[in-house]
Structure 1
Amino acid sequence: MDRKKFLKTCGVALVGLPFASALLTSCESIYYATNSVQNNTIVVPLSEFEILKKNKITYRTFVMVKTANQDFPICLYKTGENKYVASLMKCTHRGCELNVGGGIYSCPCHGSEFDTKGTVLEGPADLDLKTFKTNIKNENIYIQIS
């Protein structure tokens, strides 16, 4: 390959890299839900899963929940009709904060992966994530944190 063709190929690759990266990442952005804390319960309105675009409502598959009392956020993931799993986003291997995307939680520190119910998919972590009991009442999701 001659120098000119090499430089042109490198230039195209460098320009295209950000676009490729954007395409490969999860289409769903991270949304932090508004919430309140009552005793040992976090209250998240069901409406926090709604997205209004062009007068049409679509739904998020998950929201992040952060409170002043928690060192790590909680991911509230919709797993079915009126079924939600709340998982602490703290890796059970070395305590790094997990990333959400592509239907899994992944650890940026050592590569552990968990499914949306908190079960280990890939080590080095060997313990499932801490999850919290959830229930729905009066258009709210209640996360029992104690």
Structure 2
Amino acid sequence: MDRKKFLKTCGMGLIGLPFASALLTSCESIYYATSSIKNNSLIVPLSEFEIVKKNTTTYRTFVLVKTSREDFPICLYKTGDHEYTASLMKCTHRGCELNVGGGIYSCPCHGSEFDTKGGVLEGPADQDLKTFKTSIQNENIYIELS
């Protein structure tokens, strides 16, 4: 391959990279749920997972929740019917805020990856994420913060 063709091929690859990245990331948007605190529990209405458009209801797979008790948001992830996990979005490697999408949590700083239950999938992190016990009562999800 001659130099000109090589540079042209590399240039096209660099131009296409942002578009490919956009296509490969999760189509689900980041949504911050409303919540309240009672005693040591963060309360999130189950309705925060609903998306209603034109008389059609679909459901989010996750919502983020901010609380004054933590420096990072908590991701509340639906793992099954009436089953939710809650993980602090703080990487256990160097403390960067995690991204969520595609069924995993990923660290933009050093590439660590975690499953939706907070378990390490890929290092350099070697500790699972901080997780919180969840329960459902009266159309609300309770996240125990203690």
**C-alpha separation between the residues in 2 aligned to 1:121 and 1:8?**
37
Q: Once the 2 structures are TM-superposed, how far is the Cα of residue 22 of structure 1 from its aligned partner?
A: 2.1
Q: CA deviation at 1:13?
A: 5.8
Q: Which residue identity does 2:27 align to in structure 1?
A: C
Deviation at 1:112, TM superposition (A): 0.7
Aligned to 1:52: 52
Are positions 1:84 and 2:93 aligned together? no
Specify the alignment match of 1:104 in structure 2: 104
SS in 2 for 1:90: coil
For 1:144, the equivalent position in structure 2 comes to 144
TM-score normalised to structure 2 length:
0.89
CA distance in 1, matches of 2:9, 2:133: 53
| TM-score using structure 1 length | 0.89
TM-fit CA distance, 1:128: 0.6
Runs of 4 or more consecutive aligned structure 1 residues displaced over 3 Å after TM superposition: 4-19
Q: How does 1:15-34 map to 2 (within 5 A)?
A: 16-34=16-34
RMSD: 2.1
Tell me how far 1:68 sits from its aligned partner: 2.0
What amino acid is the match of 2:32? Y
For residue 72 of structure 1, what is the aligned residue in structure 2?
A: 72
Deviation at 1:110, TM superposition (A): 1.0
Distance 2:93 2:11 in 1: 40
Q: Which runs of 5+ in 2 are unaligned?
A: none
Q: 5+ residue gaps in structure 1?
A: none
Q: Percent identity?
A: 82
The residue type equivalent to 1:135 in the other structure is S
Residue 53 of structure 1, CA deviation? 1.6
Quote how far apart the aligned CAs of 1:19 are: 3.4
**CA deviation digits over 1:49-79, x for unaligned, max 9?**
0001221000000000001222000000000
Alignment of 1:95-134 (within 5 A): 95-134=95-134
